[in-house]
Amino acid sequence: MAPQAPTAFFDRTYDEAMGLLEQARGYLSVLEPIDRRRLGAPEQLRLCVETMRMTARLTQIMAWLLAERAIFAGEISREAAFADQSGLSAERICMERGEEEWSGLPGRLVTLLDRSHRLYVRVARLDELARRRLQ
C-alpha cells in the first residue's frame, strides 16, 4: 500500500489536538488542584466528573488521530485500522455537553471543556466519513 500524504486539514487538526492536550495536562497538573480547593463539595464532584470527561475526549481524539497518521504513513490499511476497533469509543460520555453542569466551575476549565467537546465532535464527523468510504 502506497503511503498517502496527510492533508493540511489533518495536520492542523493534529496540531490543535496536541496543543489542547498540552494545555489540559498543564491545567490538570498545576491549576486544577488550586481550583478544586476553592470549590465546595458539590462543585468539586462536578469538577472531577468534567475533567474525567475531558480526559476521555482527548484520549479518544489522540488515538483516532494516531491511527489516521499510521494510515497516511502506509503502516496500516484503513480496513485493518477499522477492523479491530469501533472508532471513537465512549461516544455517549464524550458527546455529552454539560454546560449547565459547567456553571460554577473555573472559567479556564470551562474553556478547555468546550474546546475538547468541539474537537471531539469534529473528529467524530471525520470518523463517520472515513467509515462511509469503507462501505
User: How do residues 42-71 score in pLDDT, each as one tens digit?
Assistant: 999 999 999 999 999 999 999 999 988 888
Write the CATH number of the domain with boundaries 8-134. Answer: 1.10.8.930
Q: What pLDDT does 1 receive?
A: 47
User: How do residues 5-45 score in pLDDT, each as one tens digit?
Assistant: 567 778 899 999 999 999 999 999 999 999 999 999 999 99
83 in Cβ contact with 77 (< 8 Å): no
Q: What percent of the chain has pLDDT over 70?
A: 90
- pLDDT greater at residue 91 or residue 64: 64
User: How do residues 97-129 score in pLDDT, each as one tens digit?
Assistant: 876 778 899 999 999 999 999 999 999 998 888
Q: How far is CA 31 from CA 21, 23, 26, 36, 91, in A?
A: 15, 11, 7, 9, 27
